[in-house]
Structure 1
Amino acid sequence: MDTEAQHTERGRSSGEEERSRSARVSGTVPGASGTPEGTEATEAPAALEAPEAPEEEAGEPSGFLTWRRTAAIGLACVVFLLLFSHFVLQPFLVPSSSMEPTLQVGDRILVNKLAYRFGSEPRRGDVVVFDGTGSFVQEEATGNPVTGLLHDAAAALGLAEPDETDFVKRVIGTGGDRVVCCDKDGRITVNGVPVREQYVMLGDQPSSVPFDIVVPDGTLWVMGDHRSQSSDSRDHLGQPGGGVVPVDKVVGRADWIGWPFGRWSTVPETDAFAAVPQWTGGGHATGRGRGHG
């Protein structure tokens, strides 16, 4: 028996098996086209290649693009809120105690600007916000226009005190009403009917200033609920405008208290004027007002 030949065959066979195992590990087949037998592959298979990173836009870093998108969304939200507050519902910061106990200092009320937009007009008992220029304030405030614009934007969002020409009061008389203070029991009367004003601050008189006025058509007679701390129509008797507020100067009706959360509610309605008829008399008299702070 030729033992040398057998050893040679076994040695060759062992070498080929080793190369075959190496080829399977490296992903090549011995003798395959394009790869000489016995040559080890150096490239990774296509399925294992790392994916290419996405290209960034025109050389701008992704962080900058994210910031720009966020700024655009924020600006759009601010513009939407400003438009919404200008035409529909405006927050209004109550700066004084003149409407206590109904409204407290620091309350943010939501003023419904659509309440009087479609033919409706303010009614007795409504709490309204109005521009007092020409009635409560004789001249418009002047100042830096840029500062004024920023203040108006903040006020429109309820983040700053309202303009000095903006006021919040309760409607006591509308066009044609005769409003008198006071009857023998110390009550205000409207068209001859005593008004039981349960919203007035406890301990306050209905008014310490006597007056008798027929409200001109298209105007309102307004008073604060905290009568001893309210500068209202009584204080402007005898001045240009006579203390009444033109209806077209009304910004809207205060319908809700939106802040603080502990006072989140609607502004209470009143039935104090339910029995008041329309005034059919004529003529009017005015009394002199006195400062109320």
Structure 2
Amino acid sequence: MSGTGRTGGGRGRLGSTLSGLAVAVGCVLFLGGFAWGAVVYKPYTVPTESMTPTVHAGDRVLAQRIDGSEVHRGDVVVFTDPGWGNMPMVKRVVGIGGDKIACCDKGRLTINGKPIEEPYLQTKDPASGNDFTADVPEGQLFLLGDERRDSLDSRVHLDDPGQGSVPRSAVQARVDAVAWPLGGMIGRPQAFAPLPGGVSSPGPLRLQLGVVAAGAVLILLGAAYGPIAARSARSARGKRDKVPAGVH
């Protein structure tokens, strides 16, 4: 009986050690994931309905802090430009330096003569209510809202020197997800992928969420070990106490 006790005690100590290790590692992952996210991402509140149905007015989005040189066609970006009111705005990049943007070819936007399918648009209406063309200067971006009927975007600024475009340096972040109300990730439109430069790679948000989730699971498992081990020990003692006297 004494040998069994020593063995049980050894198992208990090992279990306690592993439990503490799981909680410690879980805390590092959980807090580290949040800290990583805070460094890489910044929350924004979308001010208008110009990007519906992708994001709506009042939605809280998570935008990855990036340099303007990292922007690709199809990205939904947060930018600030004096000519647009000098306040943070959210629009979709449809053209980059050197592109010729035109609308509409059978209701579709064209980039360098290539018609672009835009499944993120609000309705089956044309890609723009008014026809237009624009040559995007090098180092500039041409931006449109997904709600083309009401969006005040590059089309409003076509008479400006940059033909409605803004400098890449105006971009502060790229929107990766709608955080509240829960709306999920914002994908990269594959219609832009065949064009030179392709589309942006996914941001690290999914990985960060996975790290946080793994940390939470380890913390819960480690914390649950104590009550489970105690219940198991009580059960074992109860069984030993029921053994008839003289039975070994």
Choose which of 99, 103, 128 in structure 2 pairs with 1:177. 99
Uncovered stretches (5+) of structure 1, i.e. residues with no partner: 1-80, 141-164, 279-293
1:275 deviates by 2.9
Residue 116, structure 1, aligned to residue 35, structure 2: no
- 1 or 2 for the larger relative contact order (CA 8 Å, sep ≥6)? 2
Residue 197, structure 1, aligned to residue 106, structure 2: no
* Residue 233 to residue 179, structure 1, CA distance change in 2 (3 Å): same
Uncovered stretches (5+) of structure 2, i.e. residues with no partner: 1-34, 198-248
1:195 deviates by 0.2
Does the 8 Å CA contact 2:134/2:158 hold for their aligned counterparts?
Answer: no
Cα distance in 1, alignment partners of residues 175 and 128 from structure 2: 23
The DSSP-based 3-state class of the residue aligned with 1:198 is coil
Residue 238, structure 1, aligned to residue 147, structure 2: no
Alignment-mate amino acid for residue 59 of structure 2: D
1:54-78, Cα deviation, whole Å (9 max, x unpaired): xxxxxxxxxxxxxxxxxxxxxxxxx
Cα distance in 1, alignment partners of residues 154 and 145 from structure 2: 9
1:93 deviates by 0.3
Cα distance in 2, alignment partners of residues 197 and 243 from structure 1: 20
Aligned residues: 163
Does the 8 Å CA contact 2:135/2:163 hold for their aligned counterparts?
Answer: no
Find the counterpart in structure 1 of residue 51 from structure 2.
Answer: 99
Does the 8 Å CA contact 1:132/1:249 hold for their aligned counterparts?
Answer: yes
Cα distance in 2, alignment partners of residues 227 and 199 from structure 1: 11
Counterpart mapping for 1:241-252 below 5 A = 241-252=162-173
Cα distance in 2, alignment partners of residues 277 and 260 from structure 1: 35
Alignment-mate amino acid for residue 246 of structure 1: P
1:277 deviates by 4.6
Residue 215, structure 1, aligned to residue 164, structure 2: no
Structure of larger gyration radius = 1
The list of structure 1 runs, each at least 4 consecutive aligned residues, that deviate by more than 4 angstroms after superposition, is: none
1:276 deviates by 2.9
1:135-170, Cα deviation, whole Å (9 max, x unpaired): x23xx5xxxxxxxxxxxxxxxxxxxxxxxx111000
Residue 273, structure 1, aligned to residue 224, structure 2: no
Write 1 or 2 for the structure with the bigger share of strand: 2
Cα distance in 2, alignment partners of residues 205 and 246 from structure 1: 27
Identity of aligned residues (%): 44
Alignment-mate amino acid for residue 119 of structure 2: Q
1:216 deviates by 0.3
1:274 deviates by 2.3
Alignment-mate amino acid for residue 174 of structure 1: I
1:110 deviates by 0.8
Find the counterpart in structure 1 of residue 76 from structure 2.
Answer: 127
Does the 8 Å CA contact 2:46/2:60 hold for their aligned counterparts?
Answer: yes
Choose which of 74, 86, 90 in structure 2 pairs with 1:168. 90
The DSSP-based 3-state class of the residue aligned with 2:82 is coil
Cα distance in 1, alignment partners of residues 123 and 102 from structure 2: 21
Does the 8 Å CA contact 2:96/2:141 hold for their aligned counterparts?
Answer: yes
Does the 8 Å CA contact 1:128/1:251 hold for their aligned counterparts?
Answer: yes
Cα distance in 1, alignment partners of residues 92 and 179 from structure 2: 19
Find the counterpart in structure 1 of residue 222 from structure 2.
Answer: none
Please give the TM-score of this superposition, normalised by the length of structure 2. Answer: 0.61
1:232-252, Cα deviation, whole Å (9 max, x unpaired): 000111135431111001011
Alignment-mate amino acid for residue 99 of structure 1: M
Aligned-CA RMSD value: 2.2
Alignment-mate amino acid for residue 125 of structure 1: G
Counterpart mapping for 1:1-293 below 5 A = 88-113=40-65, 115-116=66-67, 120-134=69-83, 136-137=84-85, 165-183=87-105, 185-261=106-182, 263=183, 265-277=184-196
Please give the TM-score of this superposition, normalised by the length of structure 1. Answer: 0.52
